[in-house]
Amino acid sequence: MSISITKGYVEVPTVYELDHPLAAHHLSILRDVGTSSPVFRNQVRLLAMLLAVKATEDLGLESVSVQTPLTRMEGKRITGRVAIVPILRAGLGLVEPVLELLPDAQVWHLGMYRDEATATPVEYYSKLPKDNPATVGFVLDPMLATGGSIGAAVNALQRWGVADVRVLSVIAAREGIDRFHAEHPNVRVYVAAIDNELNAHKFIVPGLGDAGDRIFNTVS
């Protein structure tokens, strides 16, 4: 059974799909086969920032004293340690905009590729530490197709000890969302759009093609 997808601003949805005119506008440019690699990268950046704003709206805050040019006041700052974890290589395209919003965050990397014969994730690189886990971890990958790679990344962060893991993805397939939610019902997913299907090769349809190739201009 498919899970319900929440649109709009509501309290702590499990799966959140952006419902915003800017998201719709930038997604249309992103999907267009005629969009050049530089423009594609910029659209990913803009959508990642929209996703990050939503995904961070309930981060913990603490009071801090601030001296303005006129007086002293009580301000706020984010508490805890935040980890940004892109899945190589396509996830790198989402790092910069999230890091702009969270400049003190740590950035760790996970390398995974999909075995084309089995459509299962294969981990080839991990830079996660063994102890001292972050308070919140954001897994970044522009595509959530089958959900396998992102699920494996979430497992890695949970083994590290991160209690609050969240996923940021630009495009997802309904099938992948359903699978991921069944395996990780308490992990929040923030996505710009959810497409209806995967084709026989496990590519999202209508999708946007291979995000890594289009980000890094390696389309053959």
Q: Hey, which residues are catalytic here?
A: 114, 118, 210, 213
- β 164-173/106-107 pair status: unpaired
Residue 186 DSSP SS3: coil
Angle (CA) 188 190 195, round 5°: 115
**Token match 């990397």: residue?**
109
191, 170 contact by CB (below 8 A): yes
The backbone torsions φ and ψ at residue 24, rounded to the nearest 5 degrees and listed phi first, read -60, -40
